[in-house]
Amino acid sequence: TLQVAKVAASLGAVCANHTPVTALLRHAGRTTGAAVTDSITGRDFQIKARKVVLAGGAWLDNLLALDTPGVAPRLAPTRGIHIVLPGDRLPPGTAFALTAPADGRLVFAIPWHHRTVAGTTDSPYDGDPANPPFNLPEVDYLLDAVNHNFPGAGFARADVVAVQSGLRPLISRPGRGLDDLSRRHRLIRTPSGVLAVGGGKLTTYRRIAGKTVDAVLRYLAAARMHFPDAGLNTENVPLNR
């Protein structure tokens, strides 16, 4: 995510990191920007835009509530964890797709900086988006998956170098269980003119971003707002610039 921001900045985007949104700005019933706070300096300032897009991931409901107080939540977040293991017990330089013996779910074991990252789990979550926890049964679930497929590895809790916990901002579907929630993204338009995007997966972020930007450009064209054509197909821009 940071690399995407760095490449965007190199192509002319203005990035304001560490600046949580405190309010959305309105003019004549339309959302025209955001009030933010620089969490490093404490300075408050405003960001104006011809079209506001809320792409806040697990914080999308919080942002939609700033635009429309009392709006019903749109997300049904799920939590997933990865564990970091020593990298010398699995074949080096190879990523594996494994089957978890407990329930048959797909688990990946991927080499990373001389370690192995194994994951992920999937469970409902309704807590603080900034601090999703983990529990030891989840760790054991991933250890069992790796050890089941590589009996000689012998990984135990004491071998776990680190645990990473994150959220999937899935779109809720009333009456549907966790396994029935779609991993597809959805564009949401609010009465104030905000375009929000929720759901989807990090692995499909370019497709999600492309469809979102296309929707913004259609809006600008319909509103007869000039937007310079950069002539850049970001689909072919590498992230190692």
Q: Please check whether residue 138 is in contact with residue 144, taking contact to mean a CB–CB distance below 8 angstroms.
A: no
CA 56 to centroid of chain Cα atoms = 8
Q: Which residues pair with 81 in a beta bridge?
A: 165
Along the 241 residues of the chain, how does pLDDT read in single tens digits? 889 999 989 988 899 989 999 999 999 999 999 999 999 999 999 999 999 999 999 999 999 999 999 999 899 899 999 999 999 999 888 999 999 999 999 999 999 999 999 999 999 999 999 999 999 999 999 999 999 999 999 999 999 999 999 998 888 876 555 555 566 788 999 999 999 999 888 888 888 988 998 899 888 888 777 766 655 677 788 887 5
Residue 228: the pLDDT is 65
**According to the model, what pLDDT value does residue 174 have?**
65
pLDDT at 238: 86
Q: In degrees rounded to 5, what are phi and psi of residue 14?
A: -100, 120
Indicate the Cα dihedral angle 19, 22, 28, 33, nearest 10°.
10
pTM above 0.85, yes or no: no
In the block, tokens 């964890």 appear at 81
Is beta strand 195-199 parallel, antiparallel or unpaired with respect to 53-54?
parallel
β-pair partners for 45? 36
Task: Give me the pLDDT at residue 175, please.
Answer: 59
- The dihedral through the CA atoms of 38, 191, 57, 212 has a sign that is negative
Please name the residue ranges forming H helices in the chain: 2-10, 60-67, 136-149, 205-222
Q: Give the burial class of 81: count Cβ atoms within 10 A of its Cβ; 0-12 exposed, 13-18 middle, 19 or more buried.
A: buried
